[in-house]
Structure formats: structure tokens, C-alpha cells
């Protein structure tokens, strides 16, 4: 049963939620707990690609007030889209797919702002990792002005695997880095494109960066070395818009 909005606790209610197809953000499990029931639950979570973590019992108690049986699930604010189904569908519709891969974006306000800009610029989806990303909660949805309910959000196990799929599907990978030599408008965004954006503290993972077809930077004047990631995303997305409008006009 739900104790609070957005939470499910207890083995049986959680199992029922999984069987009914309820979308879960993640599951928290009491540290040190081991039994057959938990083993079966973990198998189900892995089958559904739902992230889980072991946490101190005190954290579970604070969230529910007790009586949680050692497991709590956070219900997602939205339904996720399968990347492997979305991209072929876009091509079948005659579109030039454009998606944003978000690596290490842990601030919900940045996530929401990026989703809003992506939707306004006509991107088809944002891709986030199952772990290491801001949770899509009410604050993220509010910051996005509802965009997170309108743009496809693809949650994947590993971003490099998603990037490989996108590349093999015909999308170029364009990564943003303040250390790049090429400026952002030198990229050809008239092609199917995957933008790769990294967290402001960690940047883009080295493996992802090495996969990029092109790495670009946004020139910055002044003592601050880089833009906020959501502002940088807007600059890149709207350069794509500009280029594609010019192509149509010509």
C-alpha cells in the first residue's frame, strides 16, 4: 500500500506494482537484509531495469514512519520511452531525430530546464541513466513547465550503450566541452543528432567523450569559464533550429 504520495512500501504491494507495469524510479532496500523474498524481488527489479540501492534502516524509517518491511519504492512522475523503439519510429515518420544525452545531470532544476528547452527546440527525446541522474520528481516537472510530460524521456542502464545504439542508427554524437577547439556552430546539425551534455562538476564521462563524432565549445568572455549546463543546452539546441530553418529556406 502507499503510505505517502509517490511511495510504495512492503514486499507484496511492490510486487503487485511491478506486475501491473507501474513505473518506478528506484527501490531502496534495508542494508543487511537477506532472504528468499528479497532475492526474488531483486530478480524482478533487474528484469524490469529498475535501479535499487541498499540504505540504512533509519532512512527508510524517516520516509515511512516504520512498517516498511525493509523495502520502499519511489513511483515515477512519468512513463519512460524505450529508445530502441523511438528512433526507428522517428525515421519511419520521415523525421531527422534529435535527442539529448544527459550525463551526470544531478540537479533537478537543470534537468527540468534542459527538458523545457529541448521540447521548445523540437528535440524528440532526452536520454538519462538509470543511476547517477537527478530524479524526475515534482520539482523537475515544475521547473520544466510540464515539458517532461510532453517530451519522450528514455531511461537506460548505460549511456555508452545508448550512444552506441544511436550512432549505429545514423545519429551523429556531438559533445559539448569547454576544452574543445571547435566552436559549436561549426557542427552540422542538419543531420540526425545526439547532443551529449555533462554535469557541471564532473563533465562528460571519458568513454562517452571518446565516442563523440565532434566535440564543440561555446565561446565565453569573462572570468567565468563556462555556462550553466541548461543555458549551454539552449544555445546548442537553437543552433540546430537555426541551421535547419536555413536549410528549409534554401
Write the DSSP string, 204-236.
S-HHHHHH-SEEEE----SS--S--HHHHHHHH
CA distance 28 to 70: 8
CATH at residue 33:
3.30.1330.30
User: H or E stretch including 28?
Assistant: strand 24-30
In a domain, 2, yes or no: no
Beginning with the edge strand found earlier in the chain, give each strand of the sheet holding 214-217 in spatial order: 152-156, 125-129, 98-103, 193-198, 172-176, 214-217, 182-183
Per-residue pLDDT, 250:
66
Q: Give yes or no: residues 196 and 108 share one domain.
A: yes
Write the DSSP string, 66-96.
S--TTEEEEEPSS----HHHHHHHHHHTT--
Q: Give yes or no: residues 125 and 242 share one domain.
A: yes
Q: Name the phi and psi angles at 193, rounded to 5.
A: -135, 140
Per-residue pLDDT, 176:
96
CATH at residue 140:
3.40.1280.10
- Ramachandran assignment for 55, one of left (phi > 0), alpha (psi -120 to 50 degrees), beta (any other): beta
Distances (CA, A) of 176 to 72, 85, 140, 198: 37, 26, 23, 8
Q: Give yes or no: residues 52 and 105 share one domain.
A: no
Q: Give yes or no: residues 66 and 130 share one domain.
A: no
Q: How far is CA 213 from the centre of its chain?
A: 21
Per-residue pLDDT, 5:
54
Q: Give yes or no: residues 87 and 167 share one domain.
A: yes
| Cβ-contact 114, 229 below 8 angstroms | yes
Domain end marker among 41, 75, 109: 75
Per-residue pLDDT, 67:
77
CA distance 214 to 222: 25
Cα–Cα nearest to 102, from 88, 113, 87: 113
In a domain, 163, yes or no: yes
Q: Give yes or no: residues 207 and 102 share one domain.
A: yes
CA distance 150 to 163: 23
Q: Give yes or no: residues 122 and 191 share one domain.
A: yes
Cα–Cα nearest to 153, from 28, 23, 44: 23
CA distance 111 to 199: 10
| Cβ-contact 106, 133 below 8 angstroms | yes
Q: How confident is the prediction along the chain (250 residues), in pLDDT tens digits per residue?
A: 344 558 888 898 888 888 877 788 889 999 999 899 899 999 989 888 888 999 999 999 888 877 788 999 988 888 899 999 999 999 999 999 999 999 999 999 999 999 999 999 999 999 999 888 888 888 888 999 999 999 999 999 999 999 999 999 999 999 999 999 999 999 999 999 999 999 888 889 999 999 999 999 999 988 887 889 999 999 999 999 999 998 877 6
Q: Give yes or no: residues 185 and 218 share one domain.
A: yes
Please give the model's pTM, rounded to 2 decimal places: 0.84
Instruction: State the residue range of the domain holding 69.
Output: 7-75
* C-alpha R_g of the chain: 20
Q: Give yes or no: residues 156 and 241 share one domain.
A: yes
Domain end marker among 75, 102, 120: 75
CA distance 9 to 12: 9
In a domain, 177, yes or no: yes
Q: Give yes or no: residues 22 and 139 share one domain.
A: no
Domain end marker among 75, 91, 126: 75
In a domain, 1, yes or no: no
Per-residue pLDDT, 1:
39
Q: Give yes or no: residues 94 and 70 share one domain.
A: no
- Cell numbers 565532434 correspond to 214
Report how many domains make up the chain. 2
Amino acid at each position: 500500500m502507499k503510505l505517502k504520495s509517490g511511495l510504495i512500501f512492503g514486499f507484496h504491494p511492490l510486487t503487485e506494482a511491478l506486475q501491473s507495469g507501474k513505473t518506478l524510479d528506484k527501490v531502496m532496500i534495508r542494508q543487511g537484509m537477506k532472504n528468499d523474498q528479497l532475492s526474488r524481488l531483486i530478480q524482478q527489479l533487474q528484469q524490469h531495469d529498475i535501479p535499487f540501492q541498499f540504505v540504512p534502516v533509519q532512512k527508510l524509517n524517516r520516509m515511512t514512519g516504520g512498517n516498511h518491511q525493509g523495502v520502499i519504492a519511489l513511483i515515477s512522475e512519468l512513463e519512460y520511452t524505450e529508445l530502441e523503439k523511438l528512433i526507428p519510429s522517428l525515421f519511419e515518420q520521415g523525421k531527422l531525430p534529435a535527442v539529448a544525452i544527459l550525463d551526470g545531470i544531478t540537479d533537478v532544476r537543470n534537468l527540468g530546464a534542459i527538458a523545457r528547452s529541448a521540447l521548445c527546440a523540437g528535440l524528440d527525446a532526452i536520454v538519462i541513466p538509470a543511476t547517477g541522474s537527478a530524479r524526475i520528481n515534482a520539482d523537475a516537472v515544475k521547473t520544466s513547465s510540464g515539458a517532461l510530460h510532453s517530451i519522450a524521456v528514455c531511461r537506460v542502464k548505460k549511456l555508452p550503450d545508448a550512444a552506441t545504439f544511436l550512432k549505429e542508427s545514423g545519429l551523429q554524437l556531438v559533445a559539448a566541452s569547454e576544452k574543445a577547439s571547435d566552436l559549436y556552430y561549426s557542427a552540422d546539425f542538419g543531420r540526425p543528432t545526439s547532443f551529449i551534455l555533462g554535469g557541471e562538476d564532473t563533465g562528460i564521462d571519458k568513454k562517452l567523450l571518446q565516442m563523440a563524432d565532434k566535440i564543440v565549445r561555446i565561446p565565453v568572455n569573462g572570468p567565468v569559464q563556462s555556462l550553466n549546463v541548461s543555458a549551454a543546452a539552449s544555445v546548442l539546441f537553437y543552433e540546430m533550429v537555426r541551421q535547419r530553418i536555413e536549410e528549409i529556406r534554401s
